[in-house]
Structure 1
Amino acid sequence: MAYQFLATGDDERRVHFATSSTGHLLSEEGYSHGSHSPASSVSSFTSSSAPPRSAFNRRSSGYSVVNSNTPYDSAGRKMGGTMVAGTGLGNKFALPANPQRLGSFAYEGRRQEADDALHNPSAHDDDLNLFSARGLANVGCLLVLCAAILGLFAGYPIFTYFNERNHPAGSANTLANDSGMITSMHGLWSLIDPDTPEDAKKKKAWNGGDDMELIFSDEFNQDGRTFAPGDDKYWTAVDLHYWQTNNLEWYDPSAITTKDGKLVITLSEATPELNHGMNYKGGMMTTWNQFCFTGGMVEASVTLPGANDVVGLWPAIWSMGNLGRAGYGASLEGLWPYSYDSCDVGTAPNQTVNGQPVAATENGDPSVNGILSYLQGQRLSRCTCGGESHPGPKHSDGTYVGRAAPEIDMFEATVEASVGSTDSDALAGLVSQSAQWAPFNQGYIWKNTSDNLKIYDTSISEQNPYIGGKTQQATSALTNTNQDCYELEGGCSSVYGFEYVPGFDNAYITWVTDNKASWTINAAGVGADDSVGISARPVPQEPMYLIMNLGISENFGTPDLTNLKFPAHMSVDWIRVYQRSSDRNVGCNPKDFPTEPYIEKYQEAYSNPNLTTWVDDYKQSWPKNSFLGEC
């Protein structure tokens, strides 16, 4: 509390000033040694003793100036009359009774307050330093504001442009939800695994020697990864029976994980009652609708499962167009294995109209009396009538671009007689490296001339005698593998791959085995075939996704169940995708071959594996075809 002594002669008074926010005197207390007279001197101190009783706890006559009896009027002039002792301020204190004069006592001699300059117009700051803290703070705030505005209206559009260029919509910046469908998660992750060695980020093309740049990689170095829907940013393991190839296993996400720096897919024996009625459990995972690419090179370092001389396992790494989801039959019907952008009989069911051309009714699949094709026709063809459901886009002539789900296989591993061996009973590990096509050449015989087919080492590679059947045409070669790179042999890893340029003209596919080019097909090899009335088929132009699986099926050789060892494991050390910098095309929904709106429209076909056909199971109509006169 602050007190003041007011003294004149033998009169001394201690006054406690309590003022309101408006400066009105609220309380005072004091004592006198003589007559009252104006104070001639003032001194102040701060007391540590207990403060006087609060003015607000005293009766009103003790603190109210306005209502006191006083001999002075509001102007300070003395009035007539008699002052009642004990009832007025004048009787109690040596202070002017005029409230207008009280301020001189209340504020006289007190210490300076921090905000005095704000109330005194004459006060001013003589410090005119340009670099004061307050000035610098103001300038800093303005700079931050300008930077934010510049970033919003200039930086963000620039960032968006380059982000879309490098990571287009649908280009792996997505996550799978519990149903296996994909929700967009743009820009959260890099396509290139940070564990990829620097010296692996550039490669020379196998065909032509052009520089290739890494655009996607997975090194699988983090142990314990899982791949059930929603678990991984790029890969999703399926949970289904792959009935299309009569597989004997159930594909279960639990069969795939990462261990010791590798992806491991396990094929094991299982109790049918606990495994959907199947005797084996295997694994298949894909980047469908999460990561896709168009053109380039794909390579993987792989240890094949089992032994190199026991038949029955079916390991594979392959790719497919994003409009078809592997294992989901309804999505594939009428799209696999087409790669076609013409409007002719090649789009029709069975590749015929009214039994023509005759060549499509003979020299085909012996199991169906020589009929060439049992396909339902191309569902999303260039012949699709206007107004029908089609993912687009359109050509300049107004016709739709023919769309499909083509397939290129990096490898399917098998065990049979070694290439180049004269002993047909001597079994060895081989890989079949293929592309599947529709519509089909007469008798499935493609133009495998020296201009269109190149085998780099005939001592270990040869054209596959299997060239097709009623549901597919295959261009394929068999190549001996590194016999040590099997799980039950030396356990080493071997590099497999394929490189391709999509389209016509100079398009091609080159395959790689044990880190060496094995064979090449040029686009002219699947050119037009007048005998069956079909046009050229392009090397796949669709955005392609990756698939890795380990299963067992009699379709790929009768399993030697006596000598097969379970569980069997296929291990993948890494997988990498490269493209030429001038031909970068990454994403599952590129503008020239969009897929996203169509997949969203028909989500059930891509999420329900029990729908095996488009019309009968899914209950959707087949788009009308102008070549068949349906428009």
Structure 2
Amino acid sequence: MSKTYRIPHRRRFASMQSPLATTTCLISLLLIELIQPSPNNNIFCQASWIDPDTPQDAQTVSPLQVVPAPPAPKHAKHDDDDDDSDDKKKHHRRRRDPTQTPTFYPTFEPTHFPSIAPTTTTPAPTHPERIYNLVFSDEFNTPHRRFSDGSDPRWTALEKNDYTNDAQHYYSADNAFTDTEGNLVIKSEATDTEILGFNDVKHKNERITKHFKSAMLQSWNKFCFTGGIMEAEMALPGRHDVGGLWPAFWLLGNLARHTYVGSSEHVWPWSSSVCTEKSRTAQLVSACDRVEHYGLHTGVGRGAPEIDVFEVQAGSIKANKGAFLKMPVGQPFMSSSYQVAPGRIPRPGEGWWPAPGQWYNNLTGGMNTSMNIIFYGTYNHFRDDTNPAEQDYWSDAISYNRQLNESHFGKFHKYRVEWEVPEEASKKNNYTKSYGYIRWFLDGETVLEVKGEGLNASGTGAEISSEPMYMLLNTAISSQWGFPEKCPSNCPCKTYNCRGGYGETCGFSEGFCDMINKPVEYKINYVRVYQDKNDPKQKVGCSTPERPTRKFIEAHKEKYMQKGDLQPLKPIQNGGGECSVAAPMNATLPQSCGGTTRGKCDVSRNPPTCSCLSNWTGPYCLSQAAHDDVIWDPVETLADLGFRGPNLKGPMGVMLAAFILFAVTVAPIVLNNKKKKRRKGYSRVPDYERLVGA
């Protein structure tokens, strides 16, 4: 490992009183810059994201084998193939409500069924054995953890309304906690929340009541990673045959903070570094940019693509019925998707199998899967845009549905995504460009593989993500997801309230209110992330040398905050929670400060508050301390001040550094001692005599 350097925070410079201390600190930064001037230098510190409770046999993993499904049988034409009902509308998930009708439609005649099998059997590819090492884990074994802003170094539980996707819920930090069985719990319940605030979608203040409460955890701007393997063991909430809940596990580029709508406009879900007429006007940071701002590199397009490990829809509609009439997978199912912009034109119509040339190649689905023909993506239009014809854009959802069953609800199963970052052709890879891939697995079985070659062949400029991405865990309740296919007669389907009258309860799926009147729980046993230490493309960090985000977020922080917030994220509170000396000190309780191995109750304070021991943090000392091992983009360096030192490496750099250190530290002390010796035996001339002599 490289030498360890600690970069002081900017505020510490302002508090230093000694000029020598200030000089020494600045000289230390100068020496670092002289010896290692590259902006890609690793700055190491003494912490990690690995939970010490992680089992030894989970410290390393290898990639799984992609096993495609056998060819799909040819389908006979149904008598109702021409049924143009609106059954699928409630299952069409939109990221934005377009205010302008899309102007581009497929140029090929769509077909009800695929002209070729959606998944074609090919020999399973062989890969050289790669070992991936654990870089992040949270086993959730410490009970009573909470995740409100400033409480946990890994996760932030939102405390805000969700305006996206016709959300019926309010996200409350109180609905996310760890139980006594070693699980993270996201609780969803039918509880009212009165809200007076700014609606990011309608762009106005409003007073509303949300009749459901749930939770979302994000690792935004805390833990991000670029490339690797992510796995979690989970038990889904609710009943498998009752629609209405929307549990999800996913990744999003760090430049967009979900539910903070302003941060995602013209950012979500872009992943393209090609300069085109569309990217020039529709992508906020495009490859067409030739001026460097906020530390972002010129000629590199930026965005926030989305990798959905799963989005689960429960319900009782079977395959080849209703909205799934033309699909071999029905409810309950999980959608595994890569959402990316720019999208394709031409493109298939929703509910239709793609005609040749309308969709992506190099897609491999596993057993019990089907291409998701109900949702191909989103037409993105934003009300503040002045030139919609140039600024609007399509984004694509490259998505497959995988059939689930009752066992996935309430019992634990393993969900995994493997993400290989693209790589430009260079000498180290024999001048062979790698386009990357994303693979999804359920209990070790293939769900979907998306190869970057297929995106490249589309000609849009879209590519597999190279962005640092953060993790999200949530359960939403949306009228767009799993609600009845058709609104019942005499039902307005505008307000949804399980405690209301007929007009507010008639729009739910049968059994939904009975199910949620007793809170339902989405349980996560662990979340782990692995990377190949021999692959320099794979990094941990939310702001990397290749894809920095720190300065951009700092310069636009209002887009990542709610009104009234002072900053996007609060500092992690280290102790300070009220405790009780009467509480059992050997118990893992908040009022016990986590027990004797985590913290202690400081009775010298009034009221008594928790004081955390080493490696523990949070107001009640219940969270393992954690932060990046490698700080790719430190807050304070001479490079931030515009200094670029000469590229001196090896012995010459060390000799120069030693000379400068001697000149500014040892030499002044030696000279000062010599002056003292010369003055020995002489008395100081009084000031008035010196004035007279002058």
The one-letter code of the counterpart of 2:169 is: E
Name which of 576, 581, 597 aligns with 2:533.
581
Deviation at 1:562, TM superposition (A): 4.0
Deviation at 1:498, TM superposition (A): 0.9
Match of 1:131 in 2: none
Q: What residue ranges of structure 1 are gaps of 5+ in the alignment? A: 1-151, 170-185, 350-376, 395-399, 612-631
Deviation at 1:187, TM superposition (A): 3.9
Match of 2:465 in 1: 540
Deviations 1:377-421 (A, max 9, x none): 10100112526x454123xxxxx3111111111100012567867
Deviation at 1:319, TM superposition (A): 0.6
Matched, 1:216 2:136: yes
Match of 1:403 in 2: 302
- Would you say the 8 A contact 1:418–1:430 is kept in 2? no
- Would you say the 8 A contact 2:241–2:316 is kept in 1? no
Task: Report matched runs for 1:350-499 at 5 Å.
Answer: 377-386=282-291, 389=293, 391-394=295-298, 400-416=299-315, 428-444=331-347, 452-457=362-367, 460-465=368-373, 466-471=375-380, 472-486=395-409, 491-499=410-418
Task: Report matched runs for 1:17-36 at 5 Å.
Answer: none
Deviation at 1:243, TM superposition (A): 1.2
Distance 1:333 1:455, change over 3 A: same
Name which of 250, 264, 276 aligns with 2:185.
264
The one-letter code of the counterpart of 1:527 is: N
Q: What fraction of aligned residue pairs are identical, expressed as a percent?
A: 31
- Would you say the 8 A contact 1:497–1:513 is kept in 2? yes
Match of 2:440 in 1: 511
Deviation at 1:512, TM superposition (A): 1.1
Match of 2:279 in 1: 347
The one-letter code of the counterpart of 1:604 is: E
Task: Report matched runs for 1:270-289 at 5 Å.
Answer: 270-273=191-194, 277-289=209-221
The one-letter code of the counterpart of 1:464 is: N
Distance 1:218 1:430, change over 3 A: same
- Would you say the 8 A contact 1:481–1:513 is kept in 2? no
- Would you say the 8 A contact 2:240–2:405 is kept in 1? no
Deviations 1:444-486 (A, max 9, x none): 35979896011121xx111111212313311000002253131
- Distance in 1 (alpha carbons) for counterparts of 2:332 and 2:183: 22
Name which of 300, 314, 319 aligns with 2:246.
314
- Distance in 2 (alpha carbons) for counterparts of 1:450 and 1:343: 21
Provide the secondary structure at the position in 2 that maps to 1:444: coil
- Would you say the 8 A contact 1:494–1:515 is kept in 2? no
Match of 1:78 in 2: none
- Would you say the 8 A contact 1:286–1:547 is kept in 2? yes
Distance 1:419 1:498, change over 3 A: farther
Deviation at 1:196, TM superposition (A): 0.6
- Distance in 2 (alpha carbons) for counterparts of 1:448 and 1:523: 17
- Distance in 1 (alpha carbons) for counterparts of 2:46 and 2:167: 37
- Distance in 2 (alpha carbons) for counterparts of 1:506 and 1:514: 26
- Would you say the 8 A contact 1:419–1:462 is kept in 2? no
Q: Which structure exhibits the higher relative contact order, with contacts defined as CA atoms closer than 8 Å and separated by 6 or more residues?
A: 2
Deviation at 1:219, TM superposition (A): 0.4
Match of 2:553 in 1: 599
Match of 2:60 in 1: 202
The one-letter code of the counterpart of 1:485 is: H
Distance 1:421 1:507, change over 3 A: same
Provide the secondary structure at the position in 2 that maps to 1:484: helix
Match of 1:35 in 2: none
The one-letter code of the counterpart of 1:461 is: T
Name which of 228, 238, 241 aligns with 2:158.
238
- Distance in 2 (alpha carbons) for counterparts of 1:236 and 1:282: 14
- Distance in 2 (alpha carbons) for counterparts of 1:192 and 1:469: 37
- Would you say the 8 A contact 1:481–1:514 is kept in 2? no
| TM-score normalised by structure 1 residue count | 0.58
Alpha-carbon RMSD: 3.3
Deviations 1:209-232 (A, max 9, x none): 522211111001111111111100
Match of 1:365 in 2: none
- Distance in 2 (alpha carbons) for counterparts of 1:512 and 1:430: 14
| TM-score normalised by structure 2 residue count | 0.53
Match of 1:294 in 2: 226
- Would you say the 8 A contact 2:269–2:303 is kept in 1? yes
- Would you say the 8 A contact 2:140–2:525 is kept in 1? yes
Distance 1:222 1:188, change over 3 A: farther
The one-letter code of the counterpart of 1:415 is: A
- Distance in 1 (alpha carbons) for counterparts of 2:361 and 2:396: 20
Distance 1:514 1:444, change over 3 A: farther
- Would you say the 8 A contact 1:340–1:438 is kept in 2? yes
Distance 1:417 1:271, change over 3 A: closer
- Would you say the 8 A contact 1:317–1:546 is kept in 2? yes
Deviations 1:315-372 (A, max 9, x none): 00111111111111111111101111011123155xxxxxxxxxxxxxxxxxxxxxxx
> For this pair of structures, how many residues does the alignment match?
396
Task: Report matched runs for 1:71-86 at 5 Å.
Answer: none
Provide the secondary structure at the position in 1 that maps to 2:548: coil
The one-letter code of the counterpart of 1:469 is: T
Task: Report matched runs for 1:603-614 at 5 Å.
Answer: 603-608=557-562
- Distance in 2 (alpha carbons) for counterparts of 1:493 and 1:380: 41
Provide the secondary structure at the position in 2 that maps to 1:524: helix
- Distance in 2 (alpha carbons) for counterparts of 1:607 and 1:523: 34
Bigger Rg over Cα: 1
- Distance in 1 (alpha carbons) for counterparts of 2:306 and 2:224: 13
- Distance in 2 (alpha carbons) for counterparts of 1:210 and 1:191: 22
- Would you say the 8 A contact 1:329–1:609 is kept in 2? no
- Distance in 2 (alpha carbons) for counterparts of 1:506 and 1:403: 17
Distance 1:416 1:443, change over 3 A: farther
Deviation at 1:201, TM superposition (A): 1.1
Distance 1:561 1:481, change over 3 A: closer
Deviations 1:101-122 (A, max 9, x none): xxxxxxxxxxxxxxxxxxxxxx
- Distance in 2 (alpha carbons) for counterparts of 1:227 and 1:550: 16
Matched, 1:326 2:263: no
Q: What residue ranges of structure 2 are gaps of 5+ in the alignment? A: 1-26, 66-126, 197-207, 349-353, 381-394, 424-433, 485-507, 566-694
Distance 1:165 1:598, change over 3 A: closer
Name which of 432, 455, 462 aligns with 1:526.
455
Distance 1:261 1:609, change over 3 A: farther
- Would you say the 8 A contact 1:444–1:468 is kept in 2? no
